[in-house]
Each structure stands twice: as C-alpha cells, then as structure tokens.
Amino acid sequence: MITYSSTRGGGDKLNAAKAVIKGIADDKGLFIPSEIPKLKVSLEELAGKSYQEIAKMVIGSFFDDYSEEEINYCVEHAYDSKFAVEEIAPMAKVGGSNPCYFLELYHGKTAAFKDMALSILPYLLTTAMKKEKEEAQIAILTATSGDTGKAALEGFADVPNTQIIVFFPDDGVSEVQKMQMITQEGSNTHVFAIKGNFDDAQTGVKQIFADNDFAEDLNSKGFKLSSANSINIGRLVPQVAYYVYSYAKLAEVGEIKAGEPINITVPTGNFGNILAAYYAREMGIPVNKFICASNENKVLTDFIETGKYDAKRDFHVTNSPSMDILISSNLERLLCHLSNPEETKSYMKSLDREKKYEVSENVKAELKKSFVAGFADQEKTLLSIGEVYDQNGYLMDTHTAVGYSVYKEYAEKTGDKTKTIIASTASPYKFAAAVAQGIGLDQEITDFIYIQSLADETGVPVPEGLRNLESKKIRHNDVIAASAMKEYVWNSLK
C-alpha cells in the first residue's frame, strides 16, 4: 500500500484516506506518497480511454486504500453533467507548422481549472470519513487568490458534516471572481475578504493549522480542520489525471506516437498544477521539459534559474491575479522528492525566518534536467491574447496567455519543436476586462459589461456559471484584518 508522510519528516505514515482528512501533517509539512505509482496500462493502451476511465486509474493507483467501488463512485459523481463538455478537458490545436495544444481545464461549474480537482475532493473526503469512522465535522479552511475559493465553495456547499471557510484578498481578485464567492449559496459556506494580499491569507491559514491549542478547542466543539487548497493531497492527485489524459488524446488523434515526449507549459503561482504534471511524468508519461510560466511575481522563474528562492521582493497586483503569489506552497513537495525530508525542513525553516533559501547543488542540477522557466509582464500578456486571437481566432484568459507567452519565447530561443501542451486554466470571461483590452475592444465600466462585449465580438459562449452573476444576491459581506482570521473561523463554527 502507498503511504503518505510529511515533507518535513515528522509524524506517522498514513493511508490516503487519513492524509486526505488531515490535509496537512502534524509538523506542518505536506503529505507526499511513499512512491509514485506507475501507469497500469501501456502508453498505446491509453489512447481511446475516456476522462473518467483515466481518472479512475490514476486516482485509484495513488489512493490504493480506497476500494475500486469507492473510486468509481467518487469519479462518476465528480465528472458528470456538471461539466459543460463531454470530454471534461478538451484540447484545442492552435498554430500552423509548429502548433501548440491548449488543454482546456475550465469547463466546470466555476469556469476555472480548480473545478477539475474540487469536483471530486468532497467525494474523496466524505468517503474517507466513512472509511475511518470519523465522527467530527470537517471544517475546510481555504485561502484563495480567486479560483480555488469559488470551486471549493461550489464543491462543498451543503455537503453533510462539513463547513467551508474561504478567505480571499479584497483587492486581489477580479470583479467576477469576487462576485462568484460573495454570492455563494449554502448553509455551511462562510466567505471573508481580508485586507491584504493572497500571501497574507495563505500565511493566516497556515498559522491556524499550526496552532495546536486552537485545534484542541475546535475538537471540543466537534470540528476537525482540513484544507481544500492544493496543500491537501486529495486536491493534487486528481490533477495528475488530466495530464495523463492529454497525452492519451494527442496519441489518439495522431498528433504524437505513443512513447514520443511532449513539453508541458503551466502558468502557475502555487506550483501545484505543474507538480501534478511532474507526477504524471513519474507515472510514465514521456515529458521532455516542464515550462514553468510566471507573471511579474516571478519568484518561481528566479528560483528555477538560480536555485535561490527569495520572497523578499515587491508584490505586484497584475492582470493574472490567480498567480499573484510569492510563497509557492507546493514547491515544498518537489524539493522533498529531489532531496529528503531533513533537507526540505531546513529550507522551510529558512523561508519562515528569512523569507528565502538556497537549495543544494544536487537539487539545482535535478531542476535543470526537467524544468525551464520564464515570465510575462502585463503588456506581454495582453499582446499574447491579441496575437492568438487575431491569428487563430482562439480566445485565452490572462493566465493562459502568460503560459503561451513564456512557451513562445522558449521555443524561439531554443528551437525546441517538441509538441507542447499548455494548461489553459480559466475561461476568458473570468478576466473579461483584460481579455477585452487584449483584443482591442472599447473600455467599459464593469467586468460584467465587458463579458457581454466579449461575447458579442467573439461569439465564444459565456459559461453558465458566469451568466447574470451581477444580479445575484450578495450573501457574504465581511472584510476583515488578516490578524482576525482565527476569530472568524471560531465564530463561524457553531
């Protein structure tokens, strides 16, 4: 059986169900698997399989303490008609002689890639609670830079024996993202804007998890904390499935031969989405390079290029706000895979105390083997949106445009013609003002008018979850100081 232990070496080895329930290890490290399982079928046999078939195989391989029936139940209830397209994660081929392939991960209810994992996490969690005879209510605590929060709220709304609490930066999300969260229905949903940025929200959540006395107090009220952020292994593993699926689809339609390496480009801030691609390679998907794309908050670009992680820098509010992050939590998992828990713990101690660390020469060398990195500022992001739309009629959101811009620069610089998948992480309508600017539309007053202008200009359908969003009732009004987060968690759980 695959077990899960902390990246920092403390605590027991747990089965998957217990790791999903806990969310974060007792020593505040993240859970990683004792091994990354290999694909159960050949690359040739992957072609033709549905998304659900691949998700069952991938998730079931990692979470092997779940029965086949339990995995089938979770997958079939997660990936169903709540997605707007039957393929769940379709791909769009864009470009001429050297095309790239946009893996569209935004066809779920909240129009962002977080739906891919947060549609199944509630089923994985509630199944785990039954398996482990867990009687306490689970309080899901989440910090969001925009997309995770809404997807978590949507996934956990009115799920029995759970409460979901979301914190987001008041001035750090798009107008559409904010309205998605503050209009959320559900008797167990709690949403708070904080005065600060995403790192403030994420730090506050981590501090709450680190407070053992607070955990005991909550336990006395009948609650146990867990997370819907990608620090939870139950969030990360389902994301591996869509990279395996994308390779299978390329082979199925003859764009690659089984066994041919691909590149994977991921716009990322918290490093979870690109780590899932790394896990897919370790399962057996041939990958030449992982192309890590950042916006102006380019802490990951600098790290991959130098081996030095330095969060002591200016924080930029950009037109790709879900990547406005300086503390990339999931990088800790990769560091542990490339080194060991003791070394990883020392890096995290340095990050906590000094906001920086430098990895060993061995880790630097391992990074260089697999990863390249780049960043796109806001101007390049808008230029990429306009270029791809003008030349190909394909509409990207700002985060996907960051990925495309970095990929294009990499391909031009290196001459690498390896077939490349770009993770397309959100509907362009979630960031309608910037996307409209990118394709040259007139300035409007609100994001919601931009949505209509984009639809009229491009004919691209507006996702159902974003239609008439501005007319929905606001249900969550609180704007709080980051220092008050623990108090609001306590008051929310009654």
Question: 470 lies in a domain?
Answer: no
- Cβ-in-10-Å burial (0-12, 13-18, 19+) of 48 comes to exposed
- Cβ-in-10-Å burial (0-12, 13-18, 19+) of 393 comes to exposed
Contact between 31 and 233 (Cβ < 8 Å):
yes
Question: 228 lies in a domain?
Answer: no
Q: What is the pLDDT of residues 277-295, one digit of tens each?
A: 999 999 999 999 999 999 9
Question: 61 lies in a domain?
Answer: no
pLDDT given at position 98: 85
pLDDT given at position 145: 86
**Structure-token pair, residue 225:** 């904390």
Query: Can you give the CATH number for the domain in which 436 is found?
Result: 3.40.50.1100
The kind and range of the H/E element at 142 are strand 137-143
Q: What is the pLDDT of residues 188-209, one digit of tens each?
A: 999 999 999 999 998 999 899 9
The kind and range of the H/E element at 80 are none
230 pLDDT tier (thresholds 50, 70, 90):
confident
Please, where are the H alpha helices in 145-211?
Answer: 147-156, 175-182, 198-210
Question: 440 lies in a domain?
Answer: yes
Question: 345 lies in a domain?
Answer: yes
The total number of structural domains in the chain stands at 1
Question: 313 lies in a domain?
Answer: yes
- Output the pTM of the full model: 0.95
Question: 401 lies in a domain?
Answer: yes
Residue 308, CB-side half-sphere exposure with 13 Å CA sphere: 5
> How remote is the C-alpha of 213 from its chain's centroid?
30
pLDDT given at position 346: 98
End-to-end CA distance of the chain: 38
Strand pairing report for 100-104 and 189-195: unpaired
The kind and range of the H/E element at 33 are strand 31-33
Question: 378 lies in a domain?
Answer: yes
The domain of 396 spans 91-112+234-460
